[in-house]
Amino acid sequence: MMEWISTLGWADVLDFGKIIIADLILSGDNALIIGMAAAGLSPELRKKAILYGMVIAAVLRVVFAIIATSLLEVPGILFIGSLLLFWVCWRLYVEIKDNVDEQAEHAMETAENLEEGYTGAPRRTMFSALVSITIADVSMSLDNVLAVAAIADGDTTMLVFGLGLAIVLMAFAATMIMKLLTRYPWISWLGLFVLLYVAGEMMYRGVFVAPNGIGHIFGIL
């Protein structure tokens, strides 16, 4: 392990930093959806909903990572991925403007405090809550995997690190992260600029770098 760390260059350290920032800011969506779905349940179902929601998100990240790794060599996929990542950046920009991190913080705190939120008899089933969480998690997990895979650029160690960190943060530090992002909004803006840089770099490779760049595929370059 120490030998591997000693071989890291500044570029590798920078990439790991990008992954950490991306994981931090992209965890907000999951916290908001899971928190809101759980807060609407009766108190005895909330902890189960939070746990199951995080497990679903973790499994989806692993599945999407396997798919993304196998698709990286497909001609034109980097260009398509860059367009998706720019869409993620746009959504993140809208969320920052709308203070989604603050909403997520309140949703998670309400869900974790069994005396707040809805405290009456069950008015929706666990199944309906998990369906809502799963549908939202598909998009959010894809966003997270896409960003990490773009930064890792085929490096399996970085990809595993990024996904593992995302799962750990989501499982054990969701509320703390939301507090951090709410208190220091500049972290979210920094994350947005990092993702814009990654998307731009991905688009460059998806157009100009042979043999899978669309510029070479269509004979433009």
Percent of the chain with pLDDT over 90: 1
pLDDT of 39 over the 60 cut: yes
Is residue 10 a part of any domain in this protein? Answer: no
pLDDT at residue 1 in the model: 45
Mean pLDDT of 43-58: 79
pLDDT-derived band at 75 (thresholds 50, 70, 90) equals confident
**pLDDT value at position 221?**
62
Does a structural domain hold residue 169? Answer: yes
What is the average per-residue pLDDT within 14-18?
A: 84
In a domain, residue 6? The reply is no
Q: How many domains does the chain have?
A: 1
Q: Is residue 13 part of a domain?
A: no
Q: 41-46: list long-range contacts, CB under 8 Å, 24+ apart.
A: 41/118, 41/122, 41/124, 41/126, 41/129, 42/118, 42/119, 42/120, 42/121, 42/122, 42/123, 43/114, 43/115, 43/119, 45/122, 45/126, 45/129, 46/111, 46/112, 46/114, 46/117
Is residue 9 in some structural domain? no
Range of the domain at 143: 20-217
Q: What is the mean pLDDT of residues 29-48?
A: 71
Q: What is the pLDDT of residue 100?
A: 67
For 86-131, the pLDDT digits (tens) are 988 898 888 777 776 676 666 666 666 666 555 555 556 677 777 8
Average pLDDT value for the chain:
76
Residue 15 lies in a domain: no
pLDDT of residue 122: 54
pLDDT recorded at residue 4: 45
Q: What is the pLDDT of residue 118?
A: 53
pLDDT digits (tens, 9 = 90+) for 153-175: 778 888 888 888 888 777 677 66
